[in-house]
Chain A
Amino acid sequence: MSTYTIPVGPLHVALEEPMYFRVQVEGETIVGLDITAGHVHRGMEFLVMRRNIYQNITLTERLCSLCSNNHPFTYCMALEKIAGIEIPERAEYLRVIADEIKRIASNLFNAAMLAHIIGFDSLFMHVMEIREIVQDTKETIYGNRMDLAANCIGGVKYDLSDEKIKYLMKQIDRLKKPLEEIIDIYINNKFVRARTEGVGILPKEEAIRYGVVGPVARGSGIDYDVRVKSPYAAYDKIKFNVHVENGCDVRARAIVRLREIQEAINIIEQCLKKLPNGPTCIDYLPEIPAGEAVAKSEAPRGELIYYLRTNGTDMPERLKWRVPTYMNWEALNVMMPGNKVSDIPLIISSIDPCISCTER
C-alpha cells in the first residue's frame, strides 16, 4: 500500500479556525501527524501589558468567543488575589451562574458541531436551535449573546432581579426536555454511534501522560475538575457531580459534555435558590500592589490558568495564560493514528479546540 502525506487545513478543518495538519496516510488509514500552529497569533500577551487593569477585563473577554466569560473571570480572580480583595458573597454566586450559562452554550455548540461533521445536519440544526434558548437568555440577562461582560474587579457588573430570576428559571426548564431527547440520540442513535464509537481513542494512561484537561480527560476516565479539586467562587457551597466516562473515544467525550450541561443546569438552580442578598461589587476603586498570582478555573474546554504579575502601577507587568486546548491538541498525536481520513475533522472537533485563545 502506498503512503501519502496530505495537508489538512489551515482553513476550515472542523470549525472556522486555522490549524494546519500534515497527515501521513497509508491507504485510507492515518499513520502519523504533524501539527503546525500559529496562524492566528494576535500578540495579545503584549497587548495586555499596554492596557490598564480595567481595559484588560474587556480585552481578555475577547480572547475567545465560546469561553469568553472564563477569561475575565480568571483574570479578575488573579487580580483580587494580588490585592487581597474579598468579593461579596452574592457576586460569587452570580459569577458561577454566568460561567455555567456559558458552559451550556459552549457544550451545545460542540455537540452540534459533532452532528454537522458526521453529516447529520438535521440534528445539527436542532441542537443549534436548543442553544438558541441559551443565547436568548444571555442576551436578556447580560445584554449580549456571546460576551457577557459579567465580571469586574471585585465582583460582577450585573444583578439578578426577582423578575430575571424567574425568567432564568423558566428558560432553564425549557432546556431540560429537549436536552434529554438529544442526549438519548447522541448515546443511542445508531448512525451517531456508528461514526463516534471507537473513534479517536485516547487511553487513560496516554491521557495522563499528555496531561489533558476538561472533557477530554473526563472522557478518558480521569476524574479531574478544577471546580472540585480547587474550588473557587461559590463552587465549594454547591453540590454537583463530575461526570466521567470510560469510553476514551469521541462518543465518550461528547457524552461528558452533554452530561455537563445537565450538571450546569443543576448548579444554576442551586445558585438561584441559595443566592444571598447584598452588594454585587466592591464599592471602591481597587488599589493593586506589586505582586504575582496564579488563578485557575474550569472553562468549558478544561482547566484555564492565569499567571499575573503587577508592579504597583495599573498596567500589568506580565499576564500569561495556559488554555485547555494547549494541553489537549498534543493528544491528537495519540487519537489520530489508526483512524480513517474521514474521521480527521471529527477527532479534531472532539477536543473542542479553541485556536484563538491558544495562539492569542
Chain B
Amino acid sequence: MSSFLKIAIRNLLKGPSTDPYPFGETFVPKGLRGKIKYNAKACVACRMCEHVCAGGAIQIREVADKSGLEFILWHNTCAFCGLCEHYCPTKAIRLTEDYHTAHRQEDKYRYVEKGFIKYVNCARCATPMVPIAFELLNVAHDQVNEDIEKLRHLCPKCRQERALR
C-alpha cells in the first residue's frame, strides 16, 4: 500500500494542528531559552558573560559617580544562546521562558535588562568594592561558617592581610 489517500483522510479528521496564537495559548516547554533575567544581588562582576556574549549584548560599566557598576543587556542584540548563563559562576544571569519580545519601534534602544551593583565599603579600610555575593561563597566553600562570613565584608587586600596574620 503506497496510497496517500488514507493518511490524507486521517489528517483531515484530526483537524488543524496549528496553535491559535496570539489569540490563544501556544506550546511553551519548560526550559525554553527566552528573555534574559539578571539578578544584581548574586552578581560578582567577573564579566565572563560580557566576554562570552557573541553579539556583544551585555555591558558592565562603572557609573559616572563611581558608586557602582551598571549591567545592561540589549534584548534586541541577544541571540538566546545561553553561554552567559552557562559560564556565570553564581547563576546571576539566567534565561527565562518569556519569549514575548514585541515592542514599539521608539522603544528599541530602551528595550534592555538593567541592573546596578552598588559598591560597598570594606569593613576595615573603607575602600569601595564589589560586594561578595552569598552565591559565590557557596560555590567556593562546602559550608559557609562565621569566619568566612566575616571575610566577605573585607576588600581583597585586607582579606589577604587577615589570612596571613
Residues on B with beta carbons closer than 8 Å to the beta carbon of A120:
4
Contact B2 A188 (CB under 8 A): yes
**CB proximity to B under 8 Å, residues A289-307:** none
**Chain B contacts of A144 at CB under 8 A?**
32-33, 80
A185, B83: Cβ atoms under 8 Å? Answer: no
Cβ contact within 8 Å between A140 and B29: yes
> Which of B48-56, B66-74, B130-138 interfaces with chain A?
B48-56
List the one stretch of A27-35, A49-57, A91-99, A249-257 in contact with chain B: A49-57
Interface size class on chain B is: 20 to 34
Q: In the bound complex, what is the Cα–Cα distance between A56 and B81 (angstroms)?
A: 11
Interface of B is mostly: loop
Q: Chain A: which residue is nearest B97 at the CB level?
A: A143
B13-56 interface code vs A (CB 8 A; 1 in, 0 out): 00001000000000101111100000000000000000111110
**Contact between chains at B52 and A187 (CB < 8 Å):** no
A327–B46 alpha-carbon span in the complex (Å)? 44
Set of chain A residues within 8 Å of B54, measured between Cβ atoms: 51, 54-59
In the complex, which residues of chain B have a beta carbon less than 8 angstroms from the beta carbon of A142?
31, 33
Q: Are A123 and B32 in contact (CB under 8 A)?
A: no
B76 contact set on A, CB distance < 8 A: none
- How far does the alpha carbon of A126 sit from the alpha carbon of B46 in the complex, in Å? 50
Complex contact A139–B27 (CB within 8 A): yes
**If the complex has contacts A54-B51, A54-B83, A123-B4, are A143 and B27 also in contact, measured as CB distance less than 8 A?**
no
Given A132-B17, A143-B33: A126 and B11 interface contact (C-beta under 8 Å)? yes
Partner of A143, one of B3, B8, B32: B32
Residue A157 lies at the interface, judged by CB distance under 8 Å to chain B: yes
Q: Which residues of A contact B (CB under 8 A)?
A: 51-52, 54-59, 61-62, 120, 122-123, 125-126, 129, 132, 136, 139-144, 147, 149, 152, 157, 181, 184-185, 187-190
B interface list, Cβ under 8 A from A: 1-4, 7-8, 11, 17, 27, 29-33, 51-55, 79-83, 86-87, 95
21 A-B pairs (CB sep. < 8 Å):
A51-B54, A52-B52, A54-B83, A57-B81, A58-B79, A58-B83, A59-B54, A120-B4, A122-B4, A123-B4, A126-B11, A139-B32, A140-B30, A144-B80, A147-B79, A149-B81, A152-B86, A181-B7, A185-B2, A189-B2, A189-B4
